[in-house]
């Protein structure tokens, strides 16, 4: 039998020999002991490996727990910082809001004070203006009366010197109130030349109502003295536009200067 055929026979029969022949199995185990560990050594080594694995797992768990605890601390620290930042931002917002409200209230207060001061100054100025107007009005009234007479006298002198006429200031009393609606004194300037009668109104200014009054005074004079005027004349440097329309409708001649009066 060759070596190869012997090996093949042993491989084929060895399992049966080891299973059925205890002595042979012991012999083989003793012969191969140095090549592998026995059950006890294998079990000890297994439990040793399990212990190492358990210790490694426990170590990893401790590291994990330590990492988790550190992460928790870090999260808690971040939360505290975030809350602190939010509290600081809220405080700053409230402080800014308070400053803005105080500034707005101060601005409103200064605005109200300025308005009150302006109102006081306005009322004071208006009071002074009214007082001034009253003073000017009173002065103007006195001046108007004096200047009206001076103006009439000057025009009368010009007419007498330039046109060789006689200017007569006529004063009558209207008992029945034909002119003003109640009894009152009536004054008219009358120009007489060569039998002609011209009734004049010599004024520094005349308005629409003044034109109507002049016409009524002239008609009153005609009825009182039973004499028809040849011409009705108004001489004034200031004739209101509406007064001119009235004068044109009533047939009244109007001149802005005595030198414009047509030859008598």
Encode pLDDT of 152-176 as tens digits. 676 667 666 766 677 788 889 988 8
In sequence order, what are the residues at sequence separation of 6 or more whose Cβ sits closer than 8 angstroms to the Cβ of residue 169? 152, 156, 187, 188, 189, 190
Q: How many domains does the chain have?
A: 1
Beta partners for residue 169, in sequence order: 189
Of the candidates 191, 195, 175, which has an alpha carbon nearest to the alpha carbon of residue 183? Answer: 175
Cβ(145)–Cβ(157) under 8 Å? Answer: no
40 lies in some domain: no
Q: Is residue 72 part of a domain?
A: no
pLDDT of the residue at 244? 93
| pLDDT at residue number 141 | 41
CA atoms within 13 A on the CB side of 76: 6
Report the DSSP pairing between strands 196-202 and 166-174. Answer: unpaired
Residue with tokens 């601390």: 73
Tens digits of residue pLDDT in 62-102: 888 888 888 888 888 888 898 888 888 888 888 888 888 88
Give the model's pLDDT for residue 251.
Answer: 93
| Cα–Cα nearest to 247, from 236, 260, 232, 262 | 232
Q: What is the pLDDT at residue 129?
A: 62
The whole-number pLDDT of residue 213 equals 93
Residue at 217 is within a domain = yes
**Is the Cβ–Cβ distance between 48 and 37 less than 8 Å?**
no
Question: What's 33's DSSP letter?
Answer: G
- pLDDT tens for the chain, 264 residues long, are 677 887 787 778 778 877 888 887 777 777 766 666 556 666 677 778 788 888 888 888 888 888 888 888 888 888 889 888 888 888 888 888 888 888 888 888 888 888 888 888 777 777 776 665 544 443 344 434 445 666 667 666 766 676 667 778 888 998 888 888 899 998 888 887 777 888 888 887 899 999 999 999 999 999 988 989 898 999 888 899 999 999 999 999 998 765 666 555
* Total residue count of the chain as it appears in this document: 264
Helices (H) and strands (E) in the chain, counts: 5, 5
**Tokens, residue 234:** 């108004």
Sign of the dihedral through C-alpha 122, 125, 131, 137: negative
Q: Are 164 and 194 in contact (CB under 8 A)?
A: no
Per the domain annotation, does 244 fall within a domain?
Answer: yes
Residue 233 belongs to a domain: yes
Model-level pTM?
A: 0.43
pLDDT, position 215: 93
Domain containing 235 equals: 164-260
Q: Which two tokens stand for residue 240?
A: 């209101």
214 domain residue, yes or no? yes
Residue 230 lies in a domain: yes
Backbone angles phi, psi at 128, to 5 degrees: -65, -40
Q: Which residues, other chains included, contact 45 with Cβ-Cβ below 8 Å and sequence gap of 6+?
A: 37
The CATH number of whichever domain residue 182 belongs to comes to: 3.40.1350.10
């Amino acid at each position: 039998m060759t070596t190869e055929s012997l090996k093949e026979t042993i491989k084929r029969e060895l399992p049966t020999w080891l299973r059925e022949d205890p002595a042979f199995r012991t012999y083989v185990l003793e012969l191969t002991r140095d090549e592998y560990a026995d059950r006890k050594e294998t079990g000890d080594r297994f439990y040793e490996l399990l212990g190492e694995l358990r210790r490694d797992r426990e170590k990893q768990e401790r590291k994990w727990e330590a990492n988790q605890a550190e992460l928790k601390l870090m999260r808690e620290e971040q939360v505290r910082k975030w809350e602190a930042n939010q509290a600081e931002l809220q405080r700053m917002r409230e402080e800014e809001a308070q400053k803005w409200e105080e500034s707005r209230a101060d601005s409103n207060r200064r605005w109200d004070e300025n308005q009150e001061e302006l109102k006081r100054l306005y009322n004071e100025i208006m009071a002074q203006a009214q007082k001034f107007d009253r003073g000017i009005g009173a002065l103007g009234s006195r001046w108007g009366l004096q200047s009206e007479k001076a103006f009439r006298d000057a025009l009368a002198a010009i007419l007498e010197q330039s046109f060789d006429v006689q200017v007569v200031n006529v004063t009558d009393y209207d008992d029945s109130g034909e002119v003003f609606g109640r009894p009152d004194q009536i004054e008219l300037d009358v120009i007489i030349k060569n039998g002609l009668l011209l009734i004049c109104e010599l004024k520094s200014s005349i308005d629409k109502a003044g034109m109507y009054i002049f016409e009524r005074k002239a008609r009153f004079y005609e009825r009182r003295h039973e004499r028809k005027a040849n011409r009705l004349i108004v001489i004034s440097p200031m004739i209101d536009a509406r007064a001119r329309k009235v004068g044109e409708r009533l047939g009244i001649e109007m001149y802005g200067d005595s030198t414009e009066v047509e030859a008598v």
